[in-house]
Amino acid sequence: MTMQDLDLQKIAGFWREVGVASSPNLALQTPKRLEALFLTLSGEELTVKAVYNSSGSCEAEQIVSSEINVSGKFVFPGHREIQVIDTDYEQYAILRVSLHWRDKEFHVLKYFIRGLEGEYEPGFWKFRELTTDTGL
């Protein structure tokens, strides 16, 4: 699962998380729920500002990629990677997040939309197909 020739300028901006699929219920075990991402590009660095809901309060985290390439893979400190699997840039993006946590490798598929309402059905069906195909 890779995206060829990702347009980094078009992927930048606001994204709201509306779907998550993970093995061993990783998404259910996290104490914070991701609400939105704001991606900015500066030269060869991608900065991700993540906003979380943590027990009813808002928390923000900002991380800068240590590696970036046009196939849509971004590497971050702390053994984290984000890969853009599919996007139309305007309405939806499907990301694969890989992380090393508690001495194990985890992979999570996440579905994002640009707007604050709805789920953008065509992209959501692609997300559902990917989760089925990958066994998540």
**Rg (the chain; Cα; Å):** 14
pLDDT at 120: 72
Both structure tokens of 46: 């991608």
- Can you say how many angstroms the Cα of residue 105 is from the centroid of all Cα atoms in its chain? 16
Distance CA 54, CA 61 (A): 12
Task: Summarize pLDDT for 91-136 with one digit per residue, the tens.
Answer: 999 999 888 777 888 888 999 999 877 777 888 889 988 888 777 6
For the domain 8-134, what is the CATH code? 2.40.128.20
pLDDT at 1: 44
Sketch the domain layout of the chain as residue ranges: 8-134
pLDDT at 49: 93
Q: The pTM is what?
A: 0.83
- 47: Cβ contacts below 8 Å, ≥ 6 apart: 39, 40, 41, 62, 63, 64, 65
